[in-house]
């Protein structure tokens, strides 16, 4: 694991200076504090800030092939590198290290068209082919690891984090109004857009090819949500057995393909507990786990964590997050996320990775991805109930099934059944809408846009983020089961765009901690998303197949407890009686006017509502967090 950065001359220019690449690496030193390495020639420069995990002594990057004509830097891990190395050595390739990185140059030589599909891993790769004068920038299937790029003055710059690009002349943190409109709707941007003008992201499952001054974009993988047709449909028990085998092997690979100790995150929920249970089977030593405890009981899962810890016999340490802790670290979290945040949930993850680092661990297994690929979120239940209600729209009882789904959303808690019917009954009959499961939520979040200033309202006037998303859907989307459609949207938007980025990679690597995700093993993903919908959600019981698979490995209360989504407080963090100076300063009328993104009167009214203790909606909490993070980002990385 590491951070990568570099550049490519797209036209005749002075040769790439090593100093320029080193300056980019310095900005992402936290991603790879162990050592730096740089390669440059007349056209290209590749740099790596290394967090050494595999082949500690010999895996320094950049790494090249036998004759030094192909060079690579790479952020991530290739879990099947040992198997790939055997094949490549049988084909005559000669290795000079024991690292997973070196597999990449030889695999590219051997199979230039299909090499990326052979990788089981999480990666962002920059590969320079000197003979063909070609640069490849590639990203793993679901976007676990990031890579950003920008073109300026005849050169392309790339890096694991955007702040690295800002070290180069002419690249500035200027917000893109369309991107902010997307973020204040989906919590993330769409496609390759970032929140900054002229800076893009390589898409998950894609690679960029730059040759002869020309850049082309190529997909090498995409989600297939169609039911498996090459074999008979398994029974639920058979599916559970297959899933368990796949998960066991995914955990094995992520535990054993490391030359440093591997720990695990443990929330007390089904997903992280499943990974911890499987990881505990691979060693006689006690697995080291790390957890988050909240002082606010509405968010705390400590009791469940303790029960699971005791059952599994793991060695657990927890970070205790108070409101003040989250407020104090929010600005740092925004700096590492490099994008506006509409919730504070990334902050405890930042503090958790700090705890891991303090215990001298570099790698942790986590349960991310299970909710998306196996149908664990309440939004899936919500869509199912609404479709059931739509068959009898006048029913007084069917909408009441929604009552207990979201006790943590204020308006639904104190608004009563009338509000529930009004909110969830909107567009009830439009069951053919491709966004049936998500439209209400996105429209609710988009209400945050009313806080934009008139000038920025004009910038996005007439733009519809949902229309752009609809145009990007794959042609086969409309043929998928409604449950699969909802899963697809969660995977490509929430998981790839937000969860693995703002709440995952960026918060872990801020403290030089690599997360590994067994549920996102390509074999687990391909198997899970194509299972029948009822294997994932049986009635209103989420992740039925996973619970069946883990029935003998976890305590009953872990298997039967209701889904509790990971959240963190907002209102009490920023207005809980100990307001920090940076909050008041950045939300002041003077600063709001200075940046120009938001309407000072609207922001002032919002703040007054929080301060006087009035009921605030989920949208208002998201708006407050988003406004504050935009304000903070505006003043970062400015010379």
Show which residues are catalytic. Answer: 2
Tokens of 328: 């104090």
Candidates 538, 558, 575; CA nearest to 381 is 538
CA dist 352 and 356 (Å) reads: 6
Strand order in the sheet with 63-64: 63-64, 70-78, 121-129, 134-139, 206-211, 214-219
CA dist 134 and 210 (Å) reads: 6
At 406, phi and psi to the nearest 5? -130, 65
CA dist 518 and 250 (Å) reads: 5
Strand order in the sheet with 315-321: 315-321, 288-294, 262-265, 363-365, 514-516
Count of residues making up the chain: 639
Residue for token pair 């963190």: 568
CA dist 466 and 195 (Å) reads: 17
Mapping DSSP to helix (H, G, I), strand (E, B) and coil, where does residue 165 land?
helix
Radius of gyration in angstroms for the set of CA atoms belonging to the chain, rounded to a whole number: 24
Tokens of 225: 């949500």
Beta carbons of 12 and 32 less than 8 angstroms apart: no
Secondary element (H or E) of residue 622: helix 618-634
CA dist 187 and 502 (Å) reads: 10
The DSSP secondary-structure symbol of 259 reads S
CA dist 623 and 337 (Å) reads: 17
CA dist 240 and 242 (Å) reads: 5
Beta carbons of 582 and 631 less than 8 angstroms apart: no
> What angle is formed at CA 84 by the lines to CA 83 and CA 85, rounded to 5 degrees?
90
At 64, phi and psi to the nearest 5? -125, 170
Cis peptide bond prior to 463, omega within 30° of 0: no
Candidates 414, 405, 348; CA nearest to 616 is 414
CA dist 178 and 176 (Å) reads: 6
Secondary element (H or E) of residue 218: strand 214-219
CA dist 38 and 156 (Å) reads: 17
β-bridge partners, 37 = 48
CA dist 279 and 287 (Å) reads: 7
Beta carbons of 234 and 498 less than 8 angstroms apart: no
């Amino acid at each position: 694991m590491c951070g990568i950065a570099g550049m490519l001359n797209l036209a005749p220019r002075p040769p790439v200076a090593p100093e320029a690449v080193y300056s980019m690496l310095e900005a992402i030193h936290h991603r790879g504090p162990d050592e730096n390495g740089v390669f440059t020639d007349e056209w290209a420069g590749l740099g790596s800030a290394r967090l050494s995990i595999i082949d500690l002594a010999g895996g320094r990057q950049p790494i090249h092939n036998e004759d030094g004509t192909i060079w690579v830097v790479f952020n991530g891990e290739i879990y099947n590198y040992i198997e790939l190395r055997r094949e490549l050595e049988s084909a005559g390739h000669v290795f000079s290290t024991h690292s997973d990185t070196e597999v990449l140059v030889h695999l590219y030589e051997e199979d230039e068209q299909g090499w990326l599909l052979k990788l089981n891993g999480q990666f962002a790769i920059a590969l320079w082919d000197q003979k063909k004068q070609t640069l490849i920038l590639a990203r793993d299937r679901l976007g676990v690891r990031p890579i950003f790029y920008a073109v300026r003055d005849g050169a392309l710059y790339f890096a694991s984090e955007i702040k690295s690009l800002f070290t180069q002349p002419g690249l500035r943190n200027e917000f893109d109004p369309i991107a902010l409109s997307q973020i204040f709707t989906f919590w993330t941007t769409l496609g390759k857009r970032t929140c900054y003008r002229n800076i893009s992201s390589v898409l998950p499952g894609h690679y960029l090819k730059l040759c002869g001054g020309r850049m082309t974009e190529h997909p090498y993988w995409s989600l297939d949500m169609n039911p498996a047709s090459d074999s008979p449909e398994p029974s639920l028990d058979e599916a559970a057995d297959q899933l368990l085998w796949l998960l066991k092997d995914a955990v094995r690979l992520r535990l054993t393909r490391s030359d440093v100790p591997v720990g695990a995150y443990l929330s007390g929920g089904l997903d992280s507990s499943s990974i911890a249970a499987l990881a505990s089977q691979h060693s006689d030593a006690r697995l080291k786990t790390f957890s988050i405890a909240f002082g606010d009981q509405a968010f705390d899962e400590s009791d469940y964590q303790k029960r699971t810890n005791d059952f599994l016999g793991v060695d657990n340490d927890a970070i205790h997050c108070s409101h003040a802790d989250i407020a104090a670290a929010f600005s740092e979290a925004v700096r590492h996320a490099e994008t506006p945040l509409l919730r504070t949930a990334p902050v405890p993850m930042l503090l958790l990775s700090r705890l891991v680092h303090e215990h001298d661990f570099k790698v942790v297994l986590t349960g991310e991805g299970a909710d998306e690929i196996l149908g664990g979120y309440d939004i899936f239940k919500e869509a199912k109930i609404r479709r059931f209600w739509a068959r009898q729209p006048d029913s007084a009882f069917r909408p009441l099934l929604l009552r207990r789904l979201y006790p943590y959303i204020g308006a639904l808690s104190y608004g009563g059944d009338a509000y529930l019917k009004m909110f969830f009954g909107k567009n009830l009959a439009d069951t053919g809408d491709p966004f049936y499961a998500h439209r209400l939520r996105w429209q609710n979040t988009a209400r945050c846009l009313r806080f934009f200033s008139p000038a920025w309202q004009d910038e996005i006037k007439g733009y519809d983020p949902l229309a752009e998303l609809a145009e990007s859907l794959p042609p086969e989307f409309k043929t998928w089961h409604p449950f699969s459609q909802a899963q697809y949207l969660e995977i490509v938007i929430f998981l790839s765009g937000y969860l693995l980025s703002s709440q995952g990679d960026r918060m872990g690597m801020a403290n030089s901690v690599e997360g590994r995700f067994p549920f996102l093993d390509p074999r687990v993903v391909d198997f899970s998303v194509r299972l029948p919908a009822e294997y994932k959600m049986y009635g209103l019981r989420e992740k039925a197949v996973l619970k069946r698979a883990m029935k003998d490995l976890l305590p009953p209360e872990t298997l039967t407890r209701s889904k509790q989504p990971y959240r963190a407080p907002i209102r009490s963090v920023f207005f809980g009686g100990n307001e920090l100076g940076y909050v008041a300063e950045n939300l002041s009328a003077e600063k709001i006017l200075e940046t120009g993104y938001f309407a000072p009167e609207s922001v002032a009214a919002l703040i007054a509502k929080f301060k006087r203790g009035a009921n605030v909606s989920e949208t208002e909490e998201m708006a407050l967090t988003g406004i504050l993070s935009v304000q903070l980002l505006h003043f970062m990385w400015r010379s």
